[in-house]
C-alpha cells in the first residue's frame, strides 16, 4: 500500500521545509526559496501518486484532508515569504505542517479505495481542494495576526501612516495590509469551496444547502471572515481587536473542519461525515 | 437637515444598537406570533415581497440624502454588527441540534431573530449595491457589485423561492408504471407523468459497499410520449420542469432491490439563485486579482 512509503516523502519534505525556514531566518533568500519549493514538489508528487494508486481523489478521509493541508500551509507561507518577505513565516508553517504530517504518520486512519456514489462527482475534487487551500491561506493569515499582536505588545505601535518596515528587522508592512490581503485571498477560496458545494448539492440531490452541521459551521466561518474584512477596512480600525477577530475566526474554522466531529449537537446524519 | 444635534458620524455602537434592536424585535415576534411560517410566502406572495424589497431600496436611495440613518446603513459601521449578529445566530444554530422539538433554538430557520437579521443583511446588501451603481463607475466597483448583489440575490431568491419548491419522493416498482409521489408533508400527490422501473443497477466494491446504484426508467408524459432514461446518483434526468434524482433503494435486498426511490424536484426560482451564485463566484475570482483596499489603522 502506498501509505507505507508516505514516511520517506514526509521526512524529505519536512527536512527541506525546515532547511528553507532556517535559511530564511539567516537572510539566505535564494536558498530558502529553493528548499521550500523542492519540499513542496516532493510532497505534491506523493499526493499525485496516492491519487493514482487509490484510483480516486485522496479527499475522503480526515487523514487525506490533512495531507492536503500539510501541502497548502507551507505553500501559503511560501507565497507570504515571496510577497512580504516575513522571514519568520516559513518556520511557523513548517512547524504546523510537520504536526499534521506527524498526525498522519502516528494516527493514520483507514484509507480504503471505496468512494460512495454520492462522492463520485466532478465537483468533489475542486470542492475539497479549494477548501483546503483556503484553510492553508487562512492558517498563514492567523500566524501573521499572532505575530503582529506579539510584536505590538513588545513596542509601541507605529504612528498611523508610518511607512513600511518601521521596525527595521526586515519584516515589511507593520500595517495590517498583509493580513487583510491573505484573508481576502483565503476568503475568496472559501467562497469557491462553499459555492462549488452548493452547485454540486443542487445537481446531486436537488437542493443547494441543507444546513447540516458542516454547512452551518461553514456559513459561520465564512461570515466571521467577512466580518473581519469589513472591520479591518474601517478608518482607524483597532489593530488589536482586528487581530483577535482573525484568531477567533480561525477557531471557528477548526470547528467547521474537525471540531464538529466532537460536538454532541452535530451528531447524526450528515453528508459531510468523513467515514474512516 | 439631520435629526441629530451634531454632525459627528454615527459609529459602530449605533450599528450594534440597531442589530440588538432587531434581535429584540425578532424575539417579540417569536413570542407573539410563533415561529416563521414560510409557506405563507408561496406564490404570488413571494413576488410581491420581492417587488417590495426592490421598491424599498429604490425609495431609500431617493431619501438617503435627507435621512441620515439610511446613509448609515451603507457604512462599514453598520455592516460589521449586522454580520456579527449573523455569526452569533448561525453559531447558536451550529451548537443546537436542529430537531424542531418546539424550542426556539432547535428550529433556527423559523426563529424570528435569525430571519430578521438575515433580512437586515439582505437589505444592507441591496442598499450598498444601489449606492455603488449610482456613482461614477470605477473598475473596483465591478467586484464590489458582483459580491454584494450576488449574495443579496442568492439569499433573497433561495428564501423567497423555497415555498415554491416541490420535492417529492416516489417509489417506482419494477415493471409497474407509477404516477403517485409523496410531498414533504407526507401527502400523496398524483403527477401527470408516470415512471416505470425497467431495471435496477447496482455495483459494489470488494467489501460490499455500494460503488454505484442507478435506475433504468421509462417515463411517460401526459400526452403519451415515452422516454427511456438512466438515473444515477449525481446524474439526474430533466423532464418538463422536473428533475428526477436517484435517492435510494431497498437496502435489505441490495442488488436484488425490486424498487427504486426517486426524488422529483421542481424549483422555479433556480435561475435567479444560480445568477446570484455565479455573480459571487465571479466577484471572488476578481478579488484575487485586485489590490487590497488601503487599511487605515
CA–CA separation, B83 and B239 (whole Å)? 40
CA–CA separation, B295 and A267 (whole Å)? 41
Q: Which of A82-86, A96-100, A255-259 has the lowest mean pLDDT?
A: A82-86
Cα B167 to its chain centre, rounded Å, is: 15
List, for residues B27-46, the tens digit of each pLDDT value: 999 999 999 999 999 999 99
User: Does B6 fall in a domain?
Assistant: no
Residues on chain B touching A236 (C-beta within 8 angstroms): 296-297
Q: Which residues contact A259 (CB under 8 A, 6 or more apart)?
A: A217
Give the nearest chain B residue to A178 (CA atoms). B292
Regarding whether B118 and B48 lie in a shared domain, the answer is: yes
What does R_g of chain A's alpha carbons equal in angstroms? 19
> pLDDT band at A275, cuts 50/70/90?
very low
More confident residue, A159 or B44: B44
Q: Nearest Cβ partner of A177 from B77, B210, B292?
A: B292
More confident residue, A37 or B227: A37
User: Does B4 fall in a domain?
Assistant: no
Give the nearest chain A residue to B237 (CA atoms). A203
Query: What confidence score (pLDDT) does residue B7 get?
Result: 66
**Cell for B236?**
439526474
Q: Nearest Cβ partner of B77 from A121, A234, A263?
A: A234
Query: What confidence score (pLDDT) does residue A245 get?
Result: 97
Q: How many CB atoms lie within 10 A of CB B188?
A: 9
Q: Which residues contact A261 (CB under 8 A, 6 or more apart)?
A: A274
CA–CA separation, B41 and B161 (whole Å)? 9
Give me the domain span that covers residue B153: 12-164+270-289
Query: What confidence score (pLDDT) does residue B297 get?
Result: 47
In our burial notation (b when 16+ CB lie closer than 10 A, e otherwise), range A137-161 reads: bbbbbbbbbbbbbeebeeeeeeeee
Residue from A79, A191, A248, A264 to probe the interface with B (highest B Cβ count within 10 Å): A191
| Secondary structure element (H or E) that encloses residue B249, with its range | strand B242-249
CA–CA separation, B276 and B295 (whole Å)? 28
**Cell for A34?**
529553493
CA–CA separation, B242 and B165 (whole Å)? 10
What is the mean pLDDT of each successive set of 10 residues along chain B, which is 297 residues long?
59 96 97 94 96 97 91 95 98 90 88 97 97 87 95 97 94 94 92 93 88 93 87 89 91 92 94 97 89 67
Q: Answer whether residue A169 shows pLDDT above 70.
A: no
Query: What confidence score (pLDDT) does residue B153 get?
Result: 98
> Torsion angle, CA of B37/B94/A129/A224, rounded to 10 degrees?
90
**Top-confidence range, A6-15, A118-127, B63-72:** A6-15
List, for residues B72-112, the tens digit of each pLDDT value: 999 999 999 999 999 999 999 999 988 877 788 989 999 99
Contact yes or no for B109 and A203 at CB 8 A: no
Nearest CA-CA partner of A132 in A183, A46, A80, A193:
A193
- Compute the residue count for chain A: 276
Regarding whether B213 and B201 lie in a shared domain, the answer is: yes
Regarding whether B118 and B178 lie in a shared domain, the answer is: no
- Compute the residue count for chain B: 297
More confident residue, A108 or A103: A103
Regarding whether B285 and B146 lie in a shared domain, the answer is: yes
Question: The cell 431568491 sits on which residue?
Answer: B157
Q: How many CB atoms lie within 10 A of CB B118?
A: 19
User: Does B69 fall in a domain?
Assistant: yes
Regarding whether B195 and B73 lie in a shared domain, the answer is: no
Residues on chain A touching B151 (C-beta within 8 angstroms): none
Q: Nearest Cβ partner of B205 from A113, A203, A211?
A: A113
CA–CA separation, A194 and B203 (whole Å)? 30
Query: What confidence score (pLDDT) does residue B264 get?
Result: 94
Residue A236's φ and ψ, nearest 5 degrees, are 60, 35
Contact yes or no for B76 and A231 at CB 8 A: yes
| CATH at B238 | 2.60.98
CA–CA separation, B160 and B238 (whole Å)? 23
CA distance B51 to chain A (A): 24
Regarding whether B121 and B18 lie in a shared domain, the answer is: yes
> pLDDT band at A173, cuts 50/70/90?
very low
Question: The cell 467547521 sits on which residue?
Answer: A256
Regarding whether B18 and B145 lie in a shared domain, the answer is: yes
Q: Where exactly are the structural domains of chain A?
A: 1-61+82-110, 122-264
Q: Answer whether residue A95 shows pLDDT above 70.
A: yes
CA distance B77 to chain A (A): 8
Please give the tally of structural domains in chain B.
Answer: 2
Residue from B81, B87, B183, B211 to probe the interface with A (highest A Cβ count within 10 Å): B87
Cα A193 to its chain centre, rounded Å, is: 13
Contact yes or no for B277 and A233 at CB 8 A: no
Residues on chain B touching A181 (C-beta within 8 angstroms): 292
3-state secondary structure of B199: strand
Residues on chain B touching A263 (C-beta within 8 angstroms): 94-95
Residue B157's φ and ψ, nearest 5 degrees, are -70, -40
| Secondary structure element (H or E) that encloses residue B47, with its range | helix B45-63
Regarding whether B279 and B177 lie in a shared domain, the answer is: no
| Secondary structure element (H or E) that encloses residue B52, with its range | helix B45-63
ipTM of the complex: 0.93
> pLDDT band at A160, cuts 50/70/90?
very low
CA–CA separation, B171 and B247 (whole Å)? 10
Query: What confidence score (pLDDT) does residue B258 get?
Result: 94
User: Does B294 fall in a domain?
Assistant: no
Residues on chain B touching A224 (C-beta within 8 angstroms): 87
Q: Answer whether residue A274 shows pLDDT above 70.
A: no
CA–CA separation, B124 and A21 (whole Å)? 45
Amino acid at each position: 500500500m502506498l501509505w507505507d512509503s508516505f514516511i520517506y516523502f514526509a521526512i524529505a519534505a519536512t527536512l527541506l521545509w525546515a532547511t528553507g525556514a532556517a535559511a530564511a531566518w539567516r537572510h539566505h533568500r535564494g536558498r530558502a526559496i529553493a528548499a521550500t519549493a523542492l519540499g513542496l514538489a516532493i510532497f505534491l508528487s506523493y499526493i499525485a501518486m496516492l491519487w493514482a494508486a487509490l484510483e480516486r481523489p485522496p479527499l475522503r478521509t480526515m487523514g487525506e484532508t490533512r495531507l492536503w493541508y500539510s501541502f497548502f500551509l507551507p505553500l501559503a507561507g511560501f507565497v507570504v515569504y515571496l510577497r512580504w518577505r516575513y522571514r519568520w513565516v516559513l518556520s511557523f508553517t513548517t512547524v504546523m505542517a510537520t504536526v499534521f504530517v506527524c498526525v498522519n504518520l502516528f494516527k493514520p486512519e483507514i484509507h480504503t479505495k471505496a468512494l460512495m456514489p454520492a462522492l463520485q462527482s466532478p465537483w468533489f475534487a475542486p470542492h475539497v481542494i479549494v477548501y483546503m487551500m483556503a484553510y492553508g491561506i487562512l492558517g498563514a493569515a492567523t500566524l501573521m495576526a499572532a505575530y503582529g499582536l506579539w510584536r505590538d505588545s513588545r513596542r509601541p505601535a507605529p504612528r498611523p501612516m508610518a511607512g513600511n518596515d518601521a521596525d527595521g528587522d526586515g519584516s515589511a508592512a507593520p500595517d495590517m495590509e498583509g493580513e487583510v490581503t491573505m484573508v481576502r485571498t483565503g476568503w475568496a477560496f472559501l467562497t469557491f469551496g462553499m459555492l462549488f458545494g452548493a452547485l454540486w448539492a443542487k445537481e446531486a440531490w436537488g437542493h443547494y444547502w441543507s444546513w447540516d452541521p458542516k454547512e452551518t459551521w461553514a456559513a459561520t466561518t465564512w461570515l466571521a471572515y467577512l466580518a473581519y474584512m469589513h472591520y479591518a477596512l474601517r478608518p482607524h480600525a483597532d489593530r488589536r481587536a482586528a487581530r483577535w477577530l482573525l484568531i477567533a475566526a480561525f477557531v471557528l474554522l477548526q470547528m467547521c473542519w474537525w471540531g464538529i466531529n466532537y460536538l454532541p449537537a452535530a451528531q447524526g446524519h450528515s453528508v459531510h461525515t468523513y467515514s474512516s | 437637515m439631520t435629526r441629530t444635534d451634531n454632525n459627528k458620524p454615527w459609529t459602530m455602537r449605533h450599528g450594534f444598537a440597531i442589530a440588538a434592536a432587531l434581535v429584540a424585535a425578532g424575539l417579540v415576534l417569536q413570542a407573539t406570533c410563533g415561529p416563521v411560517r414560510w409557506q405563507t410566502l408561496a406564490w404570488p406572495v413571494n413576488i410581491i415581497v420581492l417587488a417590495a424589497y426592490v421598491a424599498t431600496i429604490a425609495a431609500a436611495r431617493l431619501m438617503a440624502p435627507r435621512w441620515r440613518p439610511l446613509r448609515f446603513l451603507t457604512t462599514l459601521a453598520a455592516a460589521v454588527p449586522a454580520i456579527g449578529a449573523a455569526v452569533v445566530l448561525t453559531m447558536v444554530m451550529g451548537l443546537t441540534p436542529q430537531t424542531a422539538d418546539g424550542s426556539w433554538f432547535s428550529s433556527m430557520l423559523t426563529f424570528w431573530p435569525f430571519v430578521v437579521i438575515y433580512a437586515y443583511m439582505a437589505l444592507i446588501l441591496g442598499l450598498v449595491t444601489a449606492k455603488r451603481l449610482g456613482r461614477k463607475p470605477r473598475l473596483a466597483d465591478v467586484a464590489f457589485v458582483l459580491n454584494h448583489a450576488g449574495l443579496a440575490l442568492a439569499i433573497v431568491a433561495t428564501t423567497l423561492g423555497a415555498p415554491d419548491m416541490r420535492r417529492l419522493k416516489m417509489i417506482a416498482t419494477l415493471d409497474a408504471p407509477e404516477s403517485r409521489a409523496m410531498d414533504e408533508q407526507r401527502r400523496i400527490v398524483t403527477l401527470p407523468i408516470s415512471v416505470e422501473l425497467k431495471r435496477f443497477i447496482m455495483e459494489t466494491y470488494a467489501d460490499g459497499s455500494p460503488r454505484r446504484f442507478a435506475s433504468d426508467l421509462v417515463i411517460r408524459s401526459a400526452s403519451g410520449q415515452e422516454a427511456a432514461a438512466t438515473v444515477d446518483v449525481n446524474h439526474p434526468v430533466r423532464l418538463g420542469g422536473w428533475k428526477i434524482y436517484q435517492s435510494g433503494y431497498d437496502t435489505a435486498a441490495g442488488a436484488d432491490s425490486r424498487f427504486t426511490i426517486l426524488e422529483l424536484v421542481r424549483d422555479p426560482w433556480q435561475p435567479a439563485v444560480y445568477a446570484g451564485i455565479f455573480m459571487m463566484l465571479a466577484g471572488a475570482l476578481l478579488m484575487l486579482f485586485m489590490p487590497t483596499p488601503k487599511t487605515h489603522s
